Amino acid sequence: MSISRRGFLNQSAGAAAVAAGGALMAGGAAAAEPSPDVAAVPVRNRLAVSTYSFWRFRDDSRLPVARCIDLAADLGFDAVEILHMQLESEANEQLQLLKRRAFLAGLDLCGLSTHQTFLSPDQELRQKNVDHTRHCIELAYQLGIPTIRVNTGRWGTSRDFDELMRNRGIEPNLPGYTEDDAFGWVIGGLEQCLPLAEKCGVTLGLENHWGLGRTPEGVLRIVQALASPWLQVTLDTGNFLEDPYDRLEQLAPKAVLVQAKTYYGGGIWYTLDLDYQRIAALLRRHGYRGYVSLEYEGQEDWRTAIPKSLALLREAFGPAAERTIPRED
């Protein structure tokens, strides 16, 4: 016997009404109906690991990105963030093999962490970094990665990174130049990258790193000056060395990727005692639903420290917390 679409819908509606009536009779009272405007849903941030976590710039532990993908899957992560400097090849066929490897392992490739500096009075140097950043946007596009981490760069008046860290990320300006000069260079450099970012669908995430990104005010000055959806924030939990929580909260509304630092065995340059329950709560307050990517930066062997880090992040960012979000239908 055939049935019309309208008849099927009428029968289905009737069955639903009978079921609802049965439930009412069995329970004695109907459960409160959800608001038509909101729906409560369990929220879990997907957890990634940066390939940097397996390396940490140590001479004896630079693992190939392909191996990092395999390890991330074995350890139970949801995604991998690739450190650009760790790629062994940028040939398209090799990039596609990495993308396929991650797909077959059930992992997303969620970020490409790049290095550049626009903080220089040398226009030729700034242009080289614009070209480099555009190249990284194209690499991310080839890999199917939706965001790249970008930096302001730093003044370069420290002898090396170790000295910069001893000085808590603070270094003097180049003689004869002001911070206003520097903001102009950085804003101008990133502005040249935005058309390609939009074309490729790759969001630039300006990290609270060093240089002009050392403070939330510095990061926001750049992001707000350009006012583009294709320039947002990569939020690093470990790069505010004093009073981190209020500073992280200032940037949380603009975050498109969160990098979560851990320091088992003591940090390589410094150690922060970060409260990830508190960080997860502040991110939830601002509706952050994106990836949280582990950047392990401790002295302990990664084989024991990364699993401990994953357990820590799972506890903080797991599915237990619920919040309301706008209903889409």
The answer on pLDDT for 241 being more than 70 is yes
Reported pTM: 0.84
Lowest mean pLDDT among 70-79, 96-105, 317-326: 317-326
Local structure of residue 263 (DSSP, 8 states)? -
pLDDT tens readout for residues 166-212: 888 888 889 999 999 999 999 999 999 999 999 999 999 999 998 99
Does the residue 161 lie in any domain?
Answer: yes
Does the residue 142 lie in any domain?
Answer: yes
Which tokens hold the place of 205?
A: 């995430």
- Within 8 A by CB and 6+ apart from 117, the residues are 125, 129, 151, 152, 153, 154, 156, 211
User: What is the number of domains present in the chain?
Assistant: 1
Which tokens hold the place of 50?
A: 């940066």
Distance CA(303)–CA(92), nearest Å, equals: 31
Does the residue 30 lie in any domain?
Answer: no
Does the residue 222 lie in any domain?
Answer: yes
Closest CA to 257 of 130, 102, 149, 132: 149
Does the residue 88 lie in any domain?
Answer: yes
Does the residue 11 lie in any domain?
Answer: no
Closest CA to 230 of 254, 250, 261, 262: 254
Does the residue 12 lie in any domain?
Answer: no
pLDDT tens readout for residues 118-170: 999 999 999 999 999 999 999 999 999 999 999 999 998 888 888 888 888 88
Residue 54: CATH number of its domain: 3.20.20.150
Confidence (pLDDT) at 170: 86
Range of the domain at 75: 38-326
| 8 Å CB contact between 248 and 280 | no
Does the residue 2 lie in any domain?
Answer: no
